[in-house]
Amino acid sequence: MDILDLTATELAEKIKRKECSAVEAAAACIEQIGREDKKLHAFLNVDADAVLRRAKEVDRGIETGIYTGPLAGVPIAVKDNICTKGMATTCASKILENFVPFYNAEAVDRIEAAGMVLLGKTNMDEFAMGSTTETSAFGDTKNPWDPAHVPGGSSGGSCAAVASGEAFLALGSDTGGSIRQPSSYCGVTGIKPTYGTVSRYGLIAYASSLDQIGPIAKNTKDCAALLSVLAGQDSKDSTSVKRTDTDFLSAAGDDMSEMKIGIPVEYLSDGIDDDVKESVLKAAEWFKILGASVEYFDLGLTEYTIPAYYVIASAEASSNLERFDGVKYGYRSSSCEGLHDMYKKSRSEGFGPEVKRRIMLGSFVLSSGYYDAYYLKALRVRAKLKEAFDRAFSRFDIILGPAAPTAAPRLGTSLNDPLKMYLSDIYTVSANLAGLPGLTVPCKINKDGLPIGVQLTGNCFAESKLFQAAYGLEKLRGPWQLPFMRKECME
């Protein structure tokens, strides 16, 4: 078996048994990046020499017993809105093109303490604002299954890197579906944890009450192993939560005889492709085979989630992005006269059109005369949505639904209609508004050769149930072949 075909946990076991080394694994990823990334553009920044130096250090650490975890020696990619000390962190924006942090995000410190090897930074929608990775100031990313299609967004670079074999694992961030939706489009597994499970320290904020860092992997076991590394309270992030149930690898098992699955009827109504609907129904049948009960129900408020999300997210973005003004760091216009002109020109030249659109929307809904009419109303919808989920989880363990209404669209078709792009998040934003965990697992390949994933949503701090359910789905689905493996695709 080619080293790239291994899962992350399989690779770590081989490294521990000295059947291969962290250096060999890192070199294999660097070679794959060299072969594939000119076509895919998943990465923005890779320093091969630094990667190999770190891999040698990790091999020594494994030898001496410093690194003993289940992912020691595994190469990992990191989304470019997560700060990395001494390595450019741009948020795929011109305004931060030359920004090099002097500290690591807590999530990066944790993966390094676990003995993982940081490969580089992945492309994304600018400031995580987008659903296709086409709003990046440094060019779009292509889908490894078909480069004529988008990989999804905003964590499209991270998902494409895993799907193409350029990385065994990746970190993404999820504000309204930015891990789960591109995971579906790229045929990988990704989870947005419960809000507060992973520290946001060092994550450059889009919408602070919605953002959450999470893992992206080839399968459920790898996802669980990485989340176990990331999860935990951090004194530098007051929103992080102290948890004692972070051994997510122990959730393995497919006995779901007592599990109750709910499917919102509105998730399968108009606007969803037949292939996606069939995937959800197939997953429901698999759950029944595994012994779970499956029931349809009315969640309610679904039609209000997109407007509420974009009002709240844009309001928080307009506040968070206020700091990028050309004064302390980042891009500064060279043709300005006076302080106010510098503010105006630096932001006009540094931000892309989608970021400007959301800043203006956020400023509008927070302005005098509109705050009550829009922002406060959106907060009330958010509270009502959380109540609706609380009622649902009094009856069900897991909510099953699509991750996106379609498979990956073609490049260039989404940005022409921003509203249509926003509506593609309809199945994912509710988990962020309610602070819930959500996991996407690949289900099938459609007639066009594109993968389709299903989304599992759980109650707060119920990630272990999501992993248990995902293990069961993987067992009945069978082996999943990613495109780089160069094997015959599944029917």
Query: Which of the residues are catalytic?
Result: 79, 154, 178
> Crossing angle, helix 220-230 and helix 8-16, to 10 degrees?
70
Residue 37 exposure: Cα atoms within 13 Å on the Cβ side: 23
Distance between CA atoms of 41 and 36, rounded to whole angstroms?
8
Q: 3-state secondary structure string, the chain?
A: CCHHHCCHHHHHHHHHCCCCCHHHHHHHHHHHHHHHHHHHCCEEEECHHHHHHHHHHHHHHHHHCCCCCCCCCCEEEEECCECECCECCCCCCHHHCCCCCCCCCHHHHHHHHCCCEEEEEECCCHHHCCCCCCCCCCCCCCECCECCECCCCCCHHHHHHHHCCCCCEEEEEECCCCCHHHHHHHCCEEEECCCCCECCCCECCCCCCCCEEEEEECCHHHHHHHHHHHECCCCCCCCCCCCCCCCHHHHCCCCCCCCEEEEEHHHHCCCCCHHHHHHHHHHHHHHHHCCCEEEEECCCCHHHHHHHHHHHHHHHHHHHHHHCCCCCCCCCCCCCCCHHHHHHHHHHHHCCHHHHHHHHHHHHHHCCCCHHHHHHHHHHHHHHHHHHHHHHHCCCCEEEEECCCCCCCECCCCCCCHHHHHHCCCCCHHHHHHCCCEEEEEEEECCCCCEEEEEEEECCCCHHHHHHHHHHHHHHHCCCCCHHHCCCCCC
For residue 122, what are the CA distances in angstroms to 78, 88, 140, 145, 217? 6, 11, 11, 18, 14
Task: Round to the nearest angstrom and report the end-to-end CA distance of the chain.
Answer: 22
Distance (Å) of CA 345 to CA 126, 251, 342, 436: 18, 52, 5, 39
Exposure letters 350-377 (e unless 16+ CB within 10 A, then b): bbbebbbebbebbbbbbeeeeeeebbeb
